[in-house]
Structure 1
């Protein structure tokens, strides 16, 4: 696990994102370079990557946008889908997590746990107060799968009203049939919930990925202590810092 300190490492992560998002999931990527998933946010983010021990290949990655760099850029990545007024007004340090992916052959292993260990270490070392990001839910036929997952979230992990955000392309009039009410919660969304994160209202339709995105918010003071200790112990002291990766000046 490491924070990318070289352009070559970032390109490896962008190539993994392209393979997972573009080739495997069939997303319509707005990218200017064949074989890479890239955008202007990449230059403002820290890129956290996980390598397979034997091959050295990157098998998992996510990118972290610190509020210092979000101010330099002028916006958050999630603002393309949500009005983030309630998030912007939160006190303290904010961190946005996005573009998370794991290669197909490693999804049943420890890669996602290692990635979350790195995020937990970053939160601890940078004094982050709130973490947020989008977690995707499959739409299903007539949006029924998304409706089923949202029904569970409303009962299990919904933020209070003052923290809700407004989706720019909301889902409408979708009721989950009874046979889908026990639909499993997707892995990334489940990881957020286990940490103590809450859904900030209704999801946004993402036509490029054919999913519904839910904005998840984690108050670091409310972190599930069991998972926090597990992730920090797994990461070890300063484990991700194999090379310099500095925040841009405010």
Structure 2
């Protein structure tokens, strides 16, 4: 059994969710199938998943795969962590295929990348997202990482109108200073579609900015995944105190809590 590193419940009557690391080939395959189900099946990403419908790449072998299960053991969310040490063995970070990342090399301290994050369509609740982030928080605090970064994606199903509206909000409120910018290799093109009256920030992007992460420049246009990727950087020491209490478990027992249970 994997070590449980975080748990949460939406209410007293709802099932609890637990976060742990996938430590067997079978568990990692589960995450790859969930990724394919969401990215290719739901979002229309151009992924060669083979006959079994699996999203895998060369980085998976170097990553630690964080998963969230419900009370029945069903996999409901996952993400993967690529540490600076593992990235050196992998030939670089995944994001380096989308952005020029020399800025990351200049950061003081240890860094880790988060990617391929997805949540099952039936479980996109605050408790699941919180459990996933609790697991990340437990990992970076236990191992002494100073920075976390990754891409938060915005879908382009409407031709990009909503994405541009969200990006304007990000640029107005959540931009990193000029010395912490990265450059996308393929920028999101302009859209001539009228923006919607109201837009909703995607859950992962919302979680990033709520914690205090900053956007590090223009979005990358990922044509294979039909999305705009926003490069987000979180300085662990800058985490918003209210969200630090939430994600690090300093809350009443009825809320999300971080636990460490040995296998």
In structure 2, how many angstroms separate the alpha carbons of the residues matched to 1:141 and 1:33? 30
Shift of the 230–127 alpha-carbon distance from structure 1 to 2, 3 Å rule, reads same
Question: Of residues 43, 64, 69 in structure 2, which corresponds to 1:46?
Answer: 64
The 2-side partners of 1:26 and 1:140 are apart by 9
CA shift for structure 1 position 174 = 4.0
Shift of 1:12: 1.0
Q: What is residue 252 of structure 2 aligned with on the other side?
A: none
- 1:211 paired to 2:233: no
Relative to structure 1, the CA distance from residue 72 to residue 33 in structure 2 (aligned partners, 3 Å threshold; closer, same or farther) is farther
For the 8 Å contact 2:63–2:80, the answer to whether it is kept is yes
CA distance in structure 2 between the aligned counterparts of 1:99 and 1:173, rounded to whole angstroms: 26
Alignment of 1:30-45 (within 5 A): 30-31=48-49, 34-45=52-63
Give the structure with the higher percent helix. 1
Which ranges in structure 2 are unaligned for 5 or more consecutive residues? 1-18, 250-255
Secondary structure of the structure 2 residue equivalent to 1:99: strand
> What residue number does 1:245 align with?
none
CA deviation vs aligned residue, 1:54-84 (integer Å, no higher than 9, x gap) = x211111000001000011111011111111
1:83-122 alignment runs, 5 A limit: 83-108=100-125, 110-122=127-139
Q: Contact 1:32–1:38 (CA<8 Å) still a contact in 2?
A: no
- Tell me the CA shift for residue 34 of structure 1: 2.7
Q: Hey, what does 1:246 align to over in structure 2?
A: none
Asked if 1:160 corresponds to 2:174, the answer is: no
Structure 1: give runs of 5+ residues left out of the alignment. 243-250
- Secondary structure, counterpart of 2:59 in structure 1: helix
Q: CA deviation at 1:142?
A: 4.6
Deviation readout 1:167-189 (Å, 9 max, x if unpaired) = 01102344774x53642211110
Q: What is the aligned partner in structure 2 of residue 236 from structure 1? A: 258
Superposed, 1:119-134 pairs within 5 Å as 119-134=136-151
Deviations 1:88-144 (A, max 9, x none): 221111010000111111113521111011011111101010000000112354522
User: 1:148–1:176: 8 Å Cα contact kept in structure 2?
Assistant: no
* Alpha-carbon spacing, 1:190–1:109, altered in 2? closer, same or farther (3 Å): closer
Residue 202 of structure 1 aligns with which residue? 218
Listed one character per residue, the Cα deviations across residues 179-221 of structure 1 (whole Å, up to 9, x for unaligned) are: 5364221111000000000000000001111111000000111
Question: In the alignment, is the contact (CA less than 8 A) between 1:121 and 1:235 conserved in 2?
Answer: no
Equivalences, count: 239
**How far apart are 1:26 and its partner, in Å?**
1.4
Q: Which moved more, 1:106-115 or 1:186-195?
A: 106-115
Find the aligned partners of 1:176 and 1:216 in 2 and give their Cα distance. 26
Hey, what's the Cα distance between the residues in 2 that align with 1:5 and 1:85?
A: 32
Paired residue secondary structure (1:214)? strand
Closer/same/farther in 2, CA of residues 28 and 140 from structure 1, 3 Å limit: closer
Provide the rounded CA distance (Å) in 2 between the counterparts of 1:142 and 1:103.
24
> Secondary structure, in 3 states, of the residue corresponding to 1:40?
coil
Structural mapping, 1:67-86, within 5 Å: 67-86=84-103
TM-score by length of 1: 0.90
